[in-house]
């Protein structure tokens, strides 16, 4: 009897796992970010992206900084929205110590209209972002860094050789 009961539980778990994988697979297909990405100690890939103020900004914009707090975030994700005040606080606390915040929205606005450039500008104004909020329309930078969710934070340390 216990063996039959155990088989029934295993069978139900297998079905649950299969259904879960089917639900997750389309998400992975929509957002095929590299599972690799940066590891501790790797050199951070440079980039230049458009900020909500229309300027082009990249890591080279911060050559005098000790590093950068790079945050992949967006407008539509409830976790990112709840994290916004923390991002503002990170910038308030660490920019003066040489670690400014640089925020990047890696989402495709055709999939998530709330992540459009115009909506990003509105959000940055509404929340009074004092840090650059950049758009990564092709998700190329997110892939290079291995960012797989929002918010996701990378602390980059500038090394001088």
Per-residue pLDDT of the chain (161 residues; tens, 9 = 90+): 445 544 555 444 434 444 433 333 333 334 444 456 788 888 999 999 999 999 999 999 999 999 999 999 999 999 999 999 999 999 999 999 999 999 999 999 999 999 999 999 999 999 999 999 999 999 999 999 999 999 999 999 988 65
Residues paired with residue 104 on neighbouring β-strands, in sequence order = 72, 134
3-state secondary structure at position 149? coil
Tokens of 11: 């069978």
For residue 95, which phi and psi values (nearest 5 degrees)?
A: -60, -40
Q: Looking at residue 123, what is its pLDDT? A: 97
Q: Looking at residue 17, what is its pLDDT? A: 44
For residue 41, which phi and psi values (nearest 5 degrees)?
A: 95, -15
Q: Looking at residue 138, what is its pLDDT? A: 94
Q: Report the sign of the C-alpha dihedral through residues 20, 21, 23, 27, in that order.
A: positive
Q: What is the largest CA-CA distance in the chain?
A: 71
Cβ contact 53:134 at 8 Å: no
29-33: long-range pairs with CB below 8 Å, 24+: 30/111, 31/139, 31/148, 33/139, 33/142, 33/143, 33/146, 33/147, 33/148
Between CA 111 and CA 116 the distance in angstroms is 10
Q: Looking at residue 3, what is its pLDDT? A: 52
pTM value? 0.77
Q: Looking at residue 10, what is its pLDDT? A: 47
Q: Using CA atoms in the order 11, 13, 14, 19, what is the torsion angle rounded to 10 degrees?
A: 130
Q: Looking at residue 41, what is its pLDDT? A: 86
């Amino acid at each position: 009897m216990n063996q039959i009961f155990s088989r029934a539980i295993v069978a139900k778990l297998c079905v649950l796992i299969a259904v879960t994988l089917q639900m997750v697979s389309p998400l992975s297909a929509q957002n095929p970010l590299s599972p690799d990405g940066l590891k501790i100690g790797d050199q951070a890939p440079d980039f230049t992206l458009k900020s909500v103020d229309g300027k082009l900004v990249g890591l080279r914009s911060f050559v005098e900084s000790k590093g950068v707090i790079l945050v992949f975030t967006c407008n539509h994700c409830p976790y990112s929205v709840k994290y916004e005040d923390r991002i503002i606080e990170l910038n308030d606390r660490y920019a003066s110590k040489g670690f400014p915040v640089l925020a990047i929205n890696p989402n495709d606005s055709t999939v998530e209209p709330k992540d459009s450039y115009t909506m990003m500008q509105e959000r940055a104004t509404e929340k009074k972002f004092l840090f650059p909020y950049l758009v990564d329309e092709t998700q190329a930078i997110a892939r290079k860094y291995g960012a797989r969710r929002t918010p996701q934070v990378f602390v980059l340390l500038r090394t001088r050789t």
